[in-house]
Structure 1
Amino acid sequence: MKKLSIIALALFIQSISAQVNRFVYQVTMKPDAENKADIKSENAYLDISADKSMFYSENRIKRDSIMQKAFQGGGGRGSINRDQMEGLRTNISYSVEKDKANQKTYFKDRIGRDLYSYEEDRPLSWKISSETRKIGEYRVQKAETDFGGRKWTAWFTTDLPYQDGPYKFGGLPGLIVKVEDDKGDYSFDLMKNYKVADFPSLNQFGNTLKVKRTDFAKQQQKFKTDPMSFMTQSGGQGGFSTTRIGGGGRGPGGGGNQNPADMRKRMEERVKEDAKKNSNPIELQ
């Protein structure tokens, strides 16, 4: 009986240590360079375990859940409530994963049918200040860095046992509670945290193409000018080598007996409109 109690206790401790800590950030953005009054705000999750962390949109995981239930119910896309999905649109289409053991950061985002993945090749260089203050319940310390063409100020706390932060930020002696750029275009503010059982499984339609960061930037620009080239099986790879990681699925933009010319026109108009609304990206270079 005593041995069973010890085993049960060991399993309980193991289950607690295996849990993932979820930190909820409010992300405030001004994505339209011509209309800074158009402020977008939504929540994003930073899930942290001993081995890795993931940063992604709360709306994305909600949209994934709706789609998964529709397909499991046998209804497919036709049974999805479009108004509900529209209400869960996100300006955070990307996800960021940090591999703690290897000190590597991986960025994923969709272009056309495919998901692109690259390893971040620019290490963060922080200048830590002696300045401290309180944000909410945490005592925080100031740090500054230049990244992606912006000057960033972060406030981190050692009250929590994590050296991490939202987006690609991390590498400070504590958890980043707040980080914002000097123009006030982007800010990430910690709202709350709680434990979850495990990392979510994000839906990944199409193929995942492993590329270099500079090639990803080139593909983004190409998509803005010629979006239909990314709707083909080639994925608009544009002459550089890619490594396919898995695949399958029709993904967004596929199917239907639509007139190709009309489809191209609508696609190009939508991409141009989206590009205009997202002319002030988080990384300027």
Structure 2
Amino acid sequence: MKIKLSILLLLMTGLYFAQSNQFIYEYTFKIDSLNRSKSETENMILQTSSKGSKFYSQVRAVYDSTMTAAFKDAQATQKTHFDFTNLKQSKVSTEVIKTYPDYKRTLKRSISSNRLLIDYDKKLDWKISKEKSKVLGYDVQMATTVLHGRKWNVWFAPDIPIQDGPHEFCGLPGLIVKAEDSKGDHQFTLIATKKVTVDSGDLLSKKNREITVNEEKFRKLWADYKKDPVKDLRQTSGSSSISAPVSVSTSITFDGKTYSQDDMLKLMEKERKEALNKTNNFLELDLYK
């Protein structure tokens, strides 16, 4: 009931002050298909405006803003040491931008330092079921679709007149408050709402370093990355050391340990290879085949 009242308040205040509505979802996922007993969670934000929406990791937003501020300070002060011991790293790199009213979708994924965009113009093919239930105090109706090789069941609330939802889901007559794939490996559940003031143009903007690719190109880049997961870092540095946005040698502290650039390169190579062995159950399943 608390979430229900919050959503109604968001919609009312948004009409008068043009504020952005934030819908916070708990994302539960099993990234290793060989170990389905283990699941991870991370809070994700669906931020809507009059022109469209952005879906992204709440943890990554904090991480990125902290890193950006730290390196800007380094450029101004020539600081050479950073302590990020207490900075939490995101488990989710996916971002999705949708535009209204056409609901075109842009999927943002990173492969190493490459920030990639994949545009989708085709609308999702929804099959609305007669099955109804209640989620978070709302009367909801079930709908199904197939997205990136996964079958999905979602529950949307007709009482919330927003044709949007978590990840790429959109186009139903009401906000999607819950979504889960048929195998139970990925699930999004609305847990909170809030309102913020945001520039719609900035919310939907694409950065200069982001490259638009098609699915075939994405798969090629992913195959190359698996062969050598630190190739880009090695090429950028030119001397087997991590390139930093400052012109002097740096050291970085994580979890109470201080690493030189060379140490960080070796550590990242080890961690990336280990992660690749355990990461095989992607949300966008068919992109990684």
Q: Provide the TM-score with structure 1 as the length reference.
A: 0.77
Alpha-carbon distance in 2 for matches of 1:201, 1:52: 8
User: In the alignment, what sits opposite 1:116?
Assistant: 116
Cα distance, 1:130 vs structure 2 = 1.2
Alpha-carbon distance in 2 for matches of 1:108, 1:76: 32
Mind listing any 5+ residue stretches in structure 2 that lack a counterpart?
1-12, 237-242, 251-259
Cα distance, 1:157 vs structure 2 = 0.5
Cα distance, 1:15 vs structure 2 = 8.5
Select the residue among 221, 227, 234 that pairs with 2:223.
221
What amino acid is aligned across from residue 270 of structure 2 in structure 1? E
1:68-107 equivalences under 5 Å are: 68-71=68-71, 73-74=73-74, 80-85=82-87, 88-107=88-107
1:130-279 equivalences under 5 Å are: 130-198=130-198, 207-231=209-233, 232=235, 266-279=267-280
User: Could you tell which deviates more after superposition, 54-63 or 97-106?
Assistant: 97-106
- Cα distance, 1:227–1:52 mapped onto 2, change above 3 Å: same
Q: Is 1:121–1:213's contact at 8 Å kept on the other side of the alignment?
A: no
1:24-63 equivalences under 5 Å are: 24-63=24-63
Cα distance, 1:95 vs structure 2 = 0.8
**SS class of match (1:83):** coil
- Cα distance, 1:229–1:196 mapped onto 2, change above 3 Å: same
Alpha-carbon distance in 1 for matches of 2:119, 2:137: 34
1:2-41 equivalences under 5 Å are: 16-41=16-41
What amino acid is aligned across from residue 147 of structure 1 in structure 2? L
User: In the alignment, what sits opposite 2:283?
Assistant: 282
Q: Deviations over 1:203-228 (max 9, x none)?
A: x9982111112211221222111223
Alpha-carbon distance in 2 for matches of 1:205, 1:77: 26
Alpha-carbon distance in 2 for matches of 1:211, 1:136: 38
User: Could you tell which deviates more after superposition, 33-42 or 99-108?
Assistant: 99-108
What amino acid is aligned across from residue 228 of structure 1 in structure 2? V
What amino acid is aligned across from residue 273 of structure 2 in structure 1? K
Q: Is 2:96–2:105's contact at 8 Å kept on the other side of the alignment?
A: yes
Q: Is 2:103–2:171's contact at 8 Å kept on the other side of the alignment?
A: no
User: In the alignment, what sits opposite 2:7?
Assistant: none
RMSD of aligned alpha carbons: 3.1
Q: Is 2:30–2:39's contact at 8 Å kept on the other side of the alignment?
A: yes
**SS class of match (1:227):** coil
Cα distance, 1:281 vs structure 2 = 0.6
What amino acid is aligned across from residue 131 of structure 1 in structure 2? E
**SS class of match (2:285):** coil
Residue-pair matches, total: 252
- Cα distance, 1:80–1:55 mapped onto 2, change above 3 Å: farther
User: In the alignment, what sits opposite 1:126?
Assistant: 126
Cα distance, 1:175 vs structure 2 = 0.6
Percentage of pairs with the same residue: 36
Cα distance, 1:81 vs structure 2 = 3.6
User: Could you tell which deviates more after superposition, 178-187 or 67-76?
Assistant: 67-76
- Cα distance, 1:263–1:78 mapped onto 2, change above 3 Å: closer
Alpha-carbon distance in 2 for matches of 1:192, 1:73: 34
**SS class of match (1:35):** coil
